[in-house]
Structure 1
Amino acid sequence: MKLGLAGGLTRAFITSPLTPLLLMAALILGLVALVILPREEEPQISVPMVDIHVEANGLKAEDAVKLVTEPLETIVKSIDGVEHVYSETRDDGAVVTARFLVGTSGDAAILRVHEKIRANYDRIPVGIPEPLIVGRGIDDVAIVVVTLTPTPEAASRWTANGLTRLARELQVEVAKLPDIGLTYIVGEQPEEIRVEPDPEKLSLYGITLQQLAAKVQGANRSFQSALVREGGEQRTLVAGQTLQTQGEIGNLLLTARDGRPIYVRDVATVSLATEPNETRVENLRKTTAHLERVPAVSLAIAKRPGTNAVVIAENIIHRLEQVRGQIFPDEIEMAITRDYGETANEKANELLFHLGLATISIVLLVAIAIGWREALVIAIVIPTTILLTLLASWIMGYTLNRVSLFALIFSIGILVDDAIVVIENIARHWAMKDGRSRIEAATDAVAEVGNPTIVATLTVVAALLPMLFVSGMMGPYMSPIPANASAAMLFSFFVAVMLTPWLMTRLAGRGALSHPDAHSGHDNGGGWLGKAYVAVARPILKSRARAWTFLLLVGVATILSLGLIYTKQVTVKLLPFDNKAELQVVVDLPEGSSVEATERVLQQVVERLAAIPETISFQTYAGTSAPFNFNGLVRHYYLRSSPELGDVQVNLAAKSERSRASHDIALDIRTRLKGLDIPAGTSVKVVEPPPGPPVMGTLLAEIYGPDAETRRAVAAKTRETFQSIPFIVDVDDSFGVRPERLRLAINQDNLEYHRVEQSDVYDSIRSLYSGASVGYSHRGGGRQPIPIRIALAKGEKVVNERTLATPVPANALPGERGIVELGDVVTLSHEPASFPIFRHNGRFAEMVTAELAGEFEAPVYGMMAVAKAIEQADWGDVPKPVIALHGQPDGESVATLLWDGEWEVTWVTFRDMGAAFVVAVIGIYILVVAQFGSFKLPLVILTPIPLTFIGIMAGHWLFGAPFSATSMIGFIALAGIIVRNSILLADFIRHARSPDRPLIDVLLEAGAIRFKPIVLTALAAMIGAVVILADPIFQGLAITLLFGLASSTALTVLVIPAIYIALRGDGRSREPGLRPEPDISPEHASRRELEQA
């Protein structure tokens, strides 16, 4: 028998002393890779976003767009690697965001933006300051969040200011640990020495704010003057000193009036106080009786790129315990409100357990179906292949995360296919007892199935590898599956032909060639499975008419199964919702609302949610955002820093301690939050951590049009349409309610009359309402220097007669300086502020966003419902928008609604996966043509691929699960697995055919003998799918493999022979009469194979 590649490798290694050494090396290297592979919960997708902040004081939004935003967009758009450019322009400023292509290095992205901006500094308009460039990426997402709170008994003794001091000390301690990335404090309210001027007293004594600021700043100076000599030595001369106490500042002499000295304390109140930030952070913990509400400050800690989240999180928490008694008093509690290291470790351990469970189950399957020796071989082969795959994963730069581990569990069912085929064939050859030695028989057995096994292995790889080229964020998110699974398949082939025969011969001993199960499980007739197959297949293959009828029924069943998608019995969604331990409620009050109003709404939200049994604690963030996660990174939640904005962080019990998934709890939250007593125009949204790559909005409509009024009118009507559909919730838009603002305008006549300079007026207004920093107080003793600011108290920041009494310098007579009250030279007026102006890739756009909950939760169904409602609605004078599914409109003259958000990711993912499937099928066809030397036979072999839909759709309908991206991955992988079975069957048929044998006998014999290994490999893959069936994200993959394999395996061994009969006739012998029963006994098969050899 010609050995081929597989047989040659077997002959080389079946008796080689290198084989056990290679086995040991594979195990050791794999274990090392398992230990050193960084562990993370999710794949780290690099999506750099660079924000460019530009101040445009005095410019309205429409003017700032022309002068600042549009020129800046053209510069940013020219940067290599920029995929999208977003901008938001408001009165007095703009933010332009460059979103780079997935996979771009974050450091490289920031550097490119800096270089391009600096190269075009000459284009900065006059009066516009240098832009601030801030880069954000996945590595800036905190893996641990520590919330500092006092105990309820000590809450009255602690403020955010005291907690801020402790958080800063803790921040320094944590930064000493290795591999710590960005750290920041949320809700901090540091101390300051505040000089609060009294406008009336300033006016009484004729002292201006500029004089007050200059006096404090001048007295608070310390600097190195020179090097001087003293006593023959050189000394450094330092001049000045810093002000350290409120008393020192209050005793500064400003001037004298009527012979009486006027001090700072006479015109201002000097106090050590908290910076008047418009933020509030509180921790609310559930008790049996009530909610415990205490002030809080959160410290967010990220890690460096490519490091182990589990180890770093453990180090952080260990360090917290070490400093608990050193930095923190006993009345301060440290709550870990986010620990991605712990969740990553739990998920990794859970999946490794599932991996072990699947391995044990497959070993038991082989032990029952073939024998204990063969099962022992499988028990060695599977870990070896998996450990080699982990080594390859480490070399390829992947981490140990939920997706890569699911790839291994998914692979375990198919990587054992080669070994099972080889083991079963070796056992069958040994059962022949034809005088060959075990080594010779094993070598021949491997050679017999070698070529089809190689082609079958390559078909699975050909099916998987094209998925590596899926674009968008789903590409790198899912890339561990094709990469690791392909590596596992390649390793499994070499392990099967090099290690498996060696193990089989060692475990079988050196006795005579025999096998205890020679006449049961290993007979060439396929045993009871073969007989069962013949009983089922014979009626189908009895005639060409019956074969055609069977094929027609299978085709109809396939079409009907696809009809489940059309009837929405099976829905389509990118990814199902995950089951996380955190949720977020995002609250947007109308612009201009106070932080106190925001805090009251957040308190109402918490009171409603406290009744949910799965909730443990809450953190409310008023005027700022909670520490952002990956979803917050993409949605720019870290820019939420305005009094009317707020978040509620909802912490849930562990998954093992609750019966409901987090998505079900989110639906409950939405129900409970209905009817809140909130200001008109307030938006309340429940945000769930996305199961995969995040998007700007689940259901996102971008509205384009010829002018701003048209766009807003169309967006408002679209919002109404959204709200009319029951399963579309949390509807919001990008422009909101137009706010109002105050303007202090100079009265030019009065200004000239009092001889006041305009710059003095503006400086006084800025100092009065914005404050003026005049330096730091260096207290020494290792304490943090604190700023000294001249500013009104928070409650005094109003425009009234008292504040307008603030004196302004005036030139009363030539050569003299006098004062005049601010109110004498300015007038107060109210005016509407500008709507924010959004642009996407250089086009003006308004956005309407929403979530989906209830009957349908995929954007495509919301889009269809909205499209239908738009057609039926009466638009009146508002132009009805043209609906676009992909790509921005060429022009802006026509109102257009472009679907974006999750739909865009879904479209790109399924489009690329469809292309990957086509490439996979073409690759498989080429491989099969090369194997069989025929252009028609590969078409027969590829026929069973669509049959998988029968089981796939039935399984999704039975479980009520959506057909997701992971389902599509399973379908593409099934193409390779099913073709593998078809190749093994067709190869046997090709070799078994002879002119003197009826075709039906050949087909029944091939099916009976190959049915057992086909069933075993299918069951092995199904076992791998069963253990991941409970995971919400990968349930679609599990259902696809489980039910797709069940249906396609049963149908493949019937459809392939039926096609032979349908196309080539029933193969009746030339002699009339009944066809004899095909001889599929071991003796007949052994004699036939010996003749062929």
Structure 2
Amino acid sequence: MIESLIKFSIRNRFLVLLIAAGLFGWGVYSVRTGKIDAIPDLSENQVIVFTEWMGRSPQLIEDQITYPLVTNLQGLPQVKYVRGTSMFGMSFVYVIFNDDTEVYWARERVLERLNYAARLLPDGVSPTLGPDGTGVGHILWYTLDAPGLDLGEQRAIQDWYVKFGLQNVAGVAEIASFGGFQKQYQVTLDPNKLTYYGLSVPQVIGAIRANNNEAGGRKFELSGIGYIIKTTGYLQSVEQIGNIPLQTINSVPIRVTDVATVQMTGETRLGIFDLNGQGEAVGGIVVMRYGENADEVIGNVKKKMEEVARGLPEGVKFNIVYDRSGLIQESVASIQHTLLEEMIVVSLVVLVFLLHWRSAISIIIQIPITIATSFILLNAFGISSNIMSLTGIALAIGVIVDNGIIMAENAYKNLATRQAELTATRPANDGLGQTGDPVGANGKLGPNHGNKQPKHTSEQT
């Protein structure tokens, strides 16, 4: 097999060179278009199911949410195992699939099963899927540098403007906001006043919900003009909430302010985000979608930030806290420098030991062609160019040239042996061959062929 391949390559040198050039060009294209990241993604192929039921204890969350979801999600195809975690007001279920399972197919299977499992959960509880990212998908963190704005205003800018702008970038799975206050209206009830007026908590909640609504009417025409009738009843201030009537006693309305305190405040926080010990900050985390090119996504997010920054209030700007692109560029540059050094060292060693420039060049050419071909395989299997994959290529350079060196040495050895055999047989066969044939051992005519005198047949007298 190997002998036939060698013969075919020698007889079709142009074809072999053409294939090598094609592989090298394809490899260069793969290097430019391949995925680049600093670290390999070794996280499990999982789908996260998140369920929120605020105000409930972890034991209640476990019994009524986590346990029903885990037991119903265990029968999915290509699932290795299902994990569940319960905490105060929240439930997390991790569905771990086989590594070769397509991630979006897995998410569809989980959604199908959730449609059935939702009927087993308490009223008003709706499980949702986590973002289609991985454990190493946090590629960029940023904060808003907004002097003169309080934390609530900064969080409003982040949630209602910046977040929606950056989510449109290709390859971004989610923009997770952090820090600041999420503004909300809070109604603090006084139980003594509720008892005095004979009201209950559900009555107060029902009255506020009924008065925070918009109703549509009908369309009618008047003098050739069509009008649409609607009523707008959305609450827009603390005063409007406080003036909502709950009931009437002796023609006197009992309002919300009579039994509760209404105020604008922030949602209860479980922690704060502090930036470099300089105080609280508001920002977001860019989560990359599964299987995307980290370096390309970061570049696109930065370009989008420049566009979004034009619509920010005066004096507000982005402050990038963590950017993986720097680590990616430094890691790739370091490995590239190492590859170049190894190629030069190996080339010099081959030249010094073989002392034949044509043989050395034939071996040295293998290095860039083989490295370029390896990037074709990386792209084919969806492996990014990261520290581990590039280091593996760097370590394999010595193995790459081993085959060429062995073949060159073997060729030299066989040629030298054959040359010695020819040199040893030539002196004995300068004239006739061993059988008296004028053809020598080398297949050529002897030097005296054609100069022999004819033999006389008559006797001298």
Give the TM-score range, shorter chain: 0.7 to 0.9
| CA deviation vs aligned residue, 1:220-251 (integer Å, no higher than 9, x gap) | 32132333333335443322332323333344
d(CA) in 2 for partners of 1:108, 1:175 = 22
**2:365 match: secondary structure:** helix
**1:161 match: secondary structure:** helix
Q: Which amino acid aligns with 2:305?
A: L
d(CA) in 1 for partners of 2:404, 2:102 = 41
| From 186, 192, 204, the counterpart of 2:184 | 192
For 1:579-590, what aligned pairs fall within 5 Å after superposition? none
d(CA) in 2 for partners of 1:130, 1:246 = 28
| From 328, 331, 343, the counterpart of 2:327 | 343
2:16 is equivalent to residue 39 of structure 1:
no
Q: Which has the higher helix share?
A: 1
Q: Which amino acid aligns with 1:78?
A: G
2:311 is equivalent to residue 320 of structure 1:
no
Once the two structures are TM-superposed, the CA of residue 103 in structure 1 deviates from its matched residue by 3.1
Which residue number in structure 2 is paired with residue 132 of structure 1? 127
Q: Which amino acid aligns with 2:26?
A: L
| From 137, 143, 146, the counterpart of 1:148 | 143
2:389 is equivalent to residue 412 of structure 1:
no
Once the two structures are TM-superposed, the CA of residue 31 in structure 1 deviates from its matched residue by 0.8
d(CA) in 1 for partners of 2:211, 2:123 = 32
CA contact (8 A) 2:133 2:173 kept: no
- Rate the CA distance shift 1:378–1:93 in 2: closer, same or farther, 3 A: closer
d(CA) in 1 for partners of 2:296, 2:77 = 36
Which residue number in structure 1 is paired with residue 264 of structure 2? 272
CA contact (8 A) 2:245 2:254 kept: yes
2:95 is equivalent to residue 104 of structure 1:
no
- Rate the CA distance shift 1:178–1:378 in 2: closer, same or farther, 3 A: same
| CA deviation vs aligned residue, 1:370-389 (integer Å, no higher than 9, x gap) | 13443333332210121122
| CA deviation vs aligned residue, 1:521-569 (integer Å, no higher than 9, x gap) | xxxxxxxxxxxxxxxxxxxxxxxxxxxxxxxxxxxxxxxxxxxxxxxxx
**1:294 match: secondary structure:** coil
CA contact (8 A) 2:188 2:260 kept: yes
**2:185 match: secondary structure:** strand
For 1:982-997, what aligned pairs fall within 5 Å after superposition? none
Q: Which amino acid aligns with 1:416?
A: V
2:230 is equivalent to residue 238 of structure 1:
yes
- Rate the CA distance shift 1:327–1:71 in 2: closer, same or farther, 3 A: closer
Which residue number in structure 1 is paired with residue 368 of structure 2? 383
Once the two structures are TM-superposed, the CA of residue 149 in structure 1 deviates from its matched residue by 5.1
Which residue number in structure 2 is paired with residue 164 of structure 1? 155
d(CA) in 2 for partners of 1:324, 1:184 = 18
Which residue number in structure 2 is paired with residue 83 of structure 1? 80
**2:186 match: secondary structure:** strand
CA contact (8 A) 2:50 2:90 kept: no
Which residue number in structure 1 is paired with residue 218 of structure 2? 226
Once the two structures are TM-superposed, the CA of residue 359 in structure 1 deviates from its matched residue by 0.9
2:112 is equivalent to residue 115 of structure 1:
yes
d(CA) in 2 for partners of 1:219, 1:129 = 21
d(CA) in 2 for partners of 1:91, 1:41 = 36
CA contact (8 A) 2:132 2:290 kept: no
CA contact (8 A) 1:140 1:303 kept: no
Which residue number in structure 2 is paired with residue 393 of structure 1? 378
Q: Which amino acid aligns with 2:400?
A: L
- Rate the CA distance shift 1:273–1:130 in 2: closer, same or farther, 3 A: closer
CA contact (8 A) 1:110 1:135 kept: no
For 1:203-218, what aligned pairs fall within 5 Å after superposition? 208-218=200-210
| CA deviation vs aligned residue, 1:412-462 (integer Å, no higher than 9, x gap) | 11121122223334455666794xxxxxxxxxxxxxxxxxxxxxxxxxxxx
Once the two structures are TM-superposed, the CA of residue 120 in structure 1 deviates from its matched residue by 6.2
**2:274 match: secondary structure:** strand
d(CA) in 2 for partners of 1:294, 1:196 = 29
Q: Which amino acid aligns with 1:279?
A: G
**2:99 match: secondary structure:** coil
- Rate the CA distance shift 1:80–1:164 in 2: closer, same or farther, 3 A: same
For 1:391-790, what aligned pairs fall within 5 Å after superposition? 391-427=376-412, 434=419
d(CA) in 1 for partners of 2:237, 2:107 = 42
Q: Which amino acid aligns with 2:8?
A: L
d(CA) in 2 for partners of 1:93, 1:322 = 36
Which residue number in structure 1 is paired with residue 46 of structure 2? 48
d(CA) in 2 for partners of 1:331, 1:121 = 43
For 1:933-944, what aligned pairs fall within 5 Å after superposition? none
2:4 is equivalent to residue 5 of structure 1:
yes
Once the two structures are TM-superposed, the CA of residue 100 in structure 1 deviates from its matched residue by 2.3
- Rate the CA distance shift 1:74–1:173 in 2: closer, same or farther, 3 A: closer
**2:265 match: secondary structure:** strand
- Rate the CA distance shift 1:79–1:52 in 2: closer, same or farther, 3 A: farther
| CA deviation vs aligned residue, 1:644-672 (integer Å, no higher than 9, x gap) | xxxxxxxxxxxxxxxxxxxxxxxxxxxxx
2:344 is equivalent to residue 360 of structure 1:
yes
Once the two structures are TM-superposed, the CA of residue 109 in structure 1 deviates from its matched residue by 2.5
Higher RCO (CA 8 Å, separation ≥ 6 residues): 2
Which residue number in structure 1 is paired with residue 23 of structure 2? 26
Once the two structures are TM-superposed, the CA of residue 135 in structure 1 deviates from its matched residue by 4.5
Which residue number in structure 2 is paired with residue 178 of structure 1? 170
CA contact (8 A) 2:173 2:288 kept: yes
d(CA) in 1 for partners of 2:360, 2:29 = 26
Once the two structures are TM-superposed, the CA of residue 405 in structure 1 deviates from its matched residue by 1.3
d(CA) in 1 for partners of 2:415, 2:200 = 105
d(CA) in 1 for partners of 2:203, 2:2 = 99
CA contact (8 A) 1:140 1:181 kept: no
- Rate the CA distance shift 1:198–1:55 in 2: closer, same or farther, 3 A: closer
**1:313 match: secondary structure:** helix
d(CA) in 1 for partners of 2:316, 2:53 = 43
CA contact (8 A) 2:248 2:254 kept: yes
Once the two structures are TM-superposed, the CA of residue 37 in structure 1 deviates from its matched residue by 0.6
Q: Which amino acid aligns with 1:165?
A: A
2:233 is equivalent to residue 248 of structure 1:
no
For 1:56-67, what aligned pairs fall within 5 Å after superposition? 61=59
d(CA) in 2 for partners of 1:166, 1:58 = 31
Q: TM-score, normalised by structure 1?
A: 0.35
Structure 2 runs not aligned, ≥5 long: 426-440, 442-461
- Rate the CA distance shift 1:167–1:375 in 2: closer, same or farther, 3 A: farther
d(CA) in 1 for partners of 2:60, 2:178 = 33
Once the two structures are TM-superposed, the CA of residue 54 in structure 1 deviates from its matched residue by 8.5
- Rate the CA distance shift 1:88–1:218 in 2: closer, same or farther, 3 A: closer
Once the two structures are TM-superposed, the CA of residue 322 in structure 1 deviates from its matched residue by 4.5
Which residue number in structure 2 is paired with residue 640 of structure 1? none
Once the two structures are TM-superposed, the CA of residue 184 in structure 1 deviates from its matched residue by 1.5
- Rate the CA distance shift 1:72–1:56 in 2: closer, same or farther, 3 A: farther
* Percent identity between the two aligned chains: 19
2:280 is equivalent to residue 295 of structure 1:
yes
Once the two structures are TM-superposed, the CA of residue 194 in structure 1 deviates from its matched residue by 3.0
d(CA) in 2 for partners of 1:145, 1:60 = 32
- Aligned-pair Cα RMSD in Å: 3.9
- Rate the CA distance shift 1:144–1:109 in 2: closer, same or farther, 3 A: same
d(CA) in 1 for partners of 2:156, 2:87 = 35
d(CA) in 1 for partners of 2:382, 2:423 = 49
How many residues are aligned here? 423
**2:278 match: secondary structure:** strand
Q: TM-score, normalised by structure 2?
A: 0.76
d(CA) in 2 for partners of 1:200, 1:149 = 44
Which residue number in structure 1 is paired with residue 435 of structure 2? none
CA contact (8 A) 2:51 2:91 kept: yes
d(CA) in 1 for partners of 2:102, 2:113 = 17
d(CA) in 2 for partners of 1:341, 1:74 = 41
